[in-house]
A and B are shown apart, each in its own frame.
Chain A
Amino acid sequence: MNVTELKQRLLNLVDVFEEKENLLTELDRAIGDGDHGVNMVRGFKALPDNIDDSSMQSLLKSTGMTLMSNIGGASGPLYGFSFVKMAQVAEDDIDQDNLNVLLNTFAEAIAQRGKVELNEKTMYDVVARANEAAKEGETLNYDVLQSYADLTKEIEATKGRASYFKADSKGHIDPGAQSSVYILNALIGDE
């Protein structure tokens, strides 16, 4: 994937998040405070004015800084920091090998900043599983990513705002896990 392609995919995410805003709001109302949808839309709406496509590294870094400055909450620094970290390891053209490196960096960034492990019912569950699958040479696509988010439904949250709901957090997909499906899908290049 070259800079132009990835830029377009990142810019298209605002449409995705606008379409999914109500879904994310509902998921977040169930086990959080209901602001995840509106926050993601605000973050990606700010992208066209701030995105720098002079190189792949600048593209990812400017995306990270924009998300960090506009999303807020916990997802802002998590997504923002992850994109900035990915910028440091991105090549000019992202092939499968480089994509694997990006996914690994994404997962490490979330783990580091969020102090989170697998199966705590967070976005990390999706990012980490995508990273593992890529390492194993498995093919990632939207449906596979969604299946990772679906796995968060049956576990009890131990991190983030959903953790206050304890056992009641079961039965709902984690909103951060759901939003990370859309972001990862943009990176892996599936429709």
Chain B
Amino acid sequence: MKKLIKDKTHFLKDMLDGLSKTNKDIKIMSDTVVVRADKKQQGVAIVSGGGSGHEPAHAGYVAQGMLDAAVCGEVFTSPTPDKILNAIKAVDNGEGVLLVVKNYAGDVMNFEMAKEMAEMEDIQVETVIVKDDIAVSDVDKRRGVAGTVLVHKYAGYLAEQGSSFQDMKAQIETVLPNIKTIGMALTAPMVPTTGQYGFDIEADEMEIGVGIHGEKGLSREKVETVDKIVARLLNELLNEVNEDRLIVMVNGMGATPLSELNIVAKYVGEVLESQNKSVVQWFVGDYMTALDMQGFSLTLVPESDELLKALATSTASPYFN
């Protein structure tokens, strides 16, 4: 394995040490919990998290205007309930704590246990579960992927607007079913903690509908040119999205050059224009990655005035723009 690490068991700690050394607006507590250096005193506190390996998610979004805490698990491994509980307690200011959870069995279970423990300590906690990955046909089992980052931004905005705890959960849950994502991979990620590739894929193959840990999606196929791949993915997405004015995220999976993400964006724009749809806001970059997997995901969300405003409002996160 050729990786820029010192020791596979120090991967998480070394990464967080580096992050906190270079960003004075955050601090690390309980080893793996990233919180804002200046605790938010008013408004619902937002906690997210999950396995590591998805950087800049989630720690990179701990900032004014987005998350109050991110709980970082080991690589591709959900964080544990005690750490999540510590994060909840650290950010709670009495107005409630909202957990933004990606729909993976481990994440859902660990966050649920932490919620139960926090409620025993009289902290109000609610959960929203993101299920944006349309590659899974059963809607209840859809994974939470890149669309989660838009939820972080929306939640952070609502909290700063002074939205009440229950209103906020309801507002987010109105938007959640409209966020649709599908991903693809050219290569598997090298998982530094095991020294193994996440899955096996031939040099001339691609995985359509891949999850952010390399889970299988729709199909394994011979690789095509990017215009055909984009048309294929948009075809799946547009089966579920009827609106004409869209917010679009082109998300890199970690080892996709920005040049290629821009090429993807060009063809996304062309296909949408040909169907008389327009993109009202673009996000192009690495938002929710899978270590060094090559590939990308596309997220479509129908515009709404509220969501556009939320996404356009500034945040101190250097990773959301």
Contact = CB atoms under 8 A, between A and B. Distances in A.
Contact of B74 (A29, A35, A37, A163): A35
Contacts of A166: 216
A29 B106 contact: no
B77 A70 contact: no
Interface residues of B, number: 33
Interface stretch (A72-80, A89-97, A146-154): A72-80
A38 to B, nearest CB: 5
B253 interface: no
Contacts, number: 94
B79 interface: yes
A165 B141 CA distance: 12
Interface in A120-163: 159-161, 163
Interface in B54-83: 73-83
B109 A74 contact: yes
Contacts of B82: 68-69
Nearest to A21: B194
B230 interface: no
Given A37-B194, A161-B104, A77 B77 contact: no
A67 B213 CA distance: 23
A152 to B, nearest CB: 16
Q: DSSP majority for the B interface?
A: loop
A47 B90 CA distance: 27
27 contacts: A33-B191, A34-B196, A35-B75, A35-B77, A35-B191, A38-B74, A38-B194, A39-B74, A68-B113, A70-B80, A71-B80, A72-B73, A73-B77, A74-B78, A74-B109, A75-B106, A76-B80, A77-B80, A77-B109, A77-B110, A77-B113, A81-B113, A161-B104, A164-B143, A165-B216, A166-B216, A168-B216
Interface of B: 51, 73-83, 104-106, 109-110, 113, 136, 141, 143, 191, 193-194, 196, 198-199, 211, 213-217
